[in-house]
Amino acid sequence: MPNLDKILTVAEMKEKARRSVPKMFFEYADSGSYTEGTYRANESDFNKISLRQKVAVNLEGRNLKTSMLGKTITMPVAIAPAATGGMQIADGEIKAAKAAEAFGIPFTLSTMSVCSIEDVAENTSAPFWFQLYVMRDRGFIERLIDRAKAAKCSALVLTMDLQILGQRHKDIHNGLSTPPKFTPYSIFQMMQHPIWCARMLGTKRHTFRNIVGHVDGNHDLASLSAWTSSQFDPTLNWADVAWVKKRFGGPVIVKGVLDREDAIAAVENGADAVIVSNHGGRQLDGAPSTIRVLPEIIDAIGKRTEVYLDSGIRSGQDVIKALAYGAKGTFIGRPMLYGLGAGGQAGVARVLEIIRKELDTTMALCGERDIVNVGLHNIYSNDIPPRRAPLAP
């Protein structure tokens, strides 16, 4: 494994991942839909917000511990669900889950992961969260929820913003597929990364293991991609939140909310928490950054439920800004994937350590000793222009 101590930022981890992972899988992570405008805005809007410096405050005994869904965590950062973590490095999701467990933060496993629910459960001891895509085959979804329950997943993250796929041009140009298709171009990309290849040859986990072997009549890998992309259910609606919740019997976090009215609907239909997310700029290109809409969503539901944010978090400074606007916690997607690609479990641990240190120093220089006290008083909250609510249809 490389010397990760020399990597000081998430941006440096990204460059290390770029050198370590075949192009098609690195670019699968480092891409947004269409013009990638929303993908860029997620990061650049954070940079527009200034933090308020305070001095002459006693900074001893600082605390980053807080809670998400009532469980104590070591800092307000969770791992977001990300498809094909197991293609950034062999057994990627197991490695990321172990790093999160050691750090004391929540890990969320994607429906479209390479390692299955059972794979992760067998290799970890802390309960993790499971992200659910609702598919047309409701029998499969019922079995999937039951498997998450059997694996003692402590929450379901129900993703509402991907019933239709935003197009990512890079994936098409790269001929991306999971499991990898062996075309001359994809073999060429993989051969340039012999360590990656050797590790992949050492694992049996190469495909969507939550799906393969669990769907009637779909045992053949060639038909898997076609099955999956035809399966995202376009009829998904708010009533399904209650259906999912009843089947699971535990907390359901609704992910993919970017609109005030949707936030209210999510809570009224039983969401135990809401993630303000635009899927990391991978779905509606042209949608606002999440940090820009967070204030209006906090205003709408912040007193009734916990609100989390993802999309664009790259540093502890970004975490503080999300918390200042009222988020109870944040999620990281790509930073975790870059950590995996660059160094597996140790890479994810290094990403978490980088963010933790940045968060602690930034909090202190803002004059705060306890993360739970961070609020609007810590930022210049008019740095991002307030969004005027769209007119009713």
Ligand X SMILES: Cc1cc2nc3c(=O)[nH]c(=O)nc-3n(C[C@H](O)[C@H](O)[C@H](O)COP(=O)(O)O)c2cc1C
**Applying CB under 6 A, which residues contact ligand X?**
28-29, 42, 80-83, 110, 112, 131, 159, 255, 277, 279-280, 282, 310-313, 332-334, 337
In order, the DSSP letters of 290-347 are: HHHHHHHHHHHHTTTSEEEE-SS--SHHHHHHHHHTT-SEEEESHHHHHHHHHHHHHH
Any catalytic annotation for residue 173? no
What strands, in cross-sheet order, belong to the sheet with 252-257?
A: 77-79, 329-332, 306-309, 273-276, 252-257, 155-159, 129-132, 108-109
Considering the complex, state which of residue 287 and residue 313 has its C-beta at the smaller distance from ligand X.
Answer: 313
Residue placing its CB nearer to ligand X in the complex, 184 or 234:
234
Sort strands 273-276 and 77-79 into parallel, antiparallel or unpaired: unpaired
Residue listed under structure tokens 């970890």: 124
- Taking the least distance from each CB to ligand X, the nearer of 33 and 42 is 42
Q: Smallest gap, in angstroms, from Cβ of residue 86 to ligand X?
A: 12
Residue type, 22: P
Q: How far apart are CA 325 and CA 6, in angstroms?
A: 32
Catalytic hit among 169, 219, 279, 377: 279
Burial of residue 210 (CB within 10 Å: 0-12, 13-18, 19+) is buried
Q: How far is the CB of 255 from ligand X (least distance, A)?
A: 6
Closest distance of CB 310 from ligand X, Å: 4
Output the CA torsion 92→284→287→245 (10° steps).
Answer: -70
Q: Nearest residue to ligand X, using CB?
A: 333
Among residues 79 and 267, whose Cβ is nearest to ligand X?
Answer: 79
Least distance to ligand X from the beta carbon of 333, Å?
2
The catalytic residues are: 279
